[in-house]
Structure 1
Amino acid sequence: MNNLTELEVEHLRHLIGGHGLVAKKLETYAQNCADPELKEILQRDAQAAKQSQQQLMTFLG
Structure 2
Amino acid sequence: MANLTELEVENLRHIIGGHATIANKLEDYAQNSTDPELKQILQNDAQAARQAQQQLMQFFQ
Could you tell me which residue of structure 2 aligns to residue 39 of structure 1?
A: 39
Count, aligned residues = 61
Deviation above 2 Å: which 4+ runs of structure 1? none
* Cα shift at 1:15: 0.3
Letter in 2 for 1:24: N
* Cα shift at 1:18: 0.2
Task: Report the TM-score when normalising by structure 2.
Answer: 0.97
The answer for unaligned runs of 5 or more in structure 1 is none
Letter in 2 for 1:39: K
Percent identical among aligned pairs is 72
Could you tell me which residue of structure 2 aligns to residue 15 of structure 1?
A: 15
The answer for unaligned runs of 5 or more in structure 2 is none
Aligned mates of 2:40, 2:60 — CA distance in 1: 31
Aligned mates of 1:42, 1:4 — CA distance in 2: 33
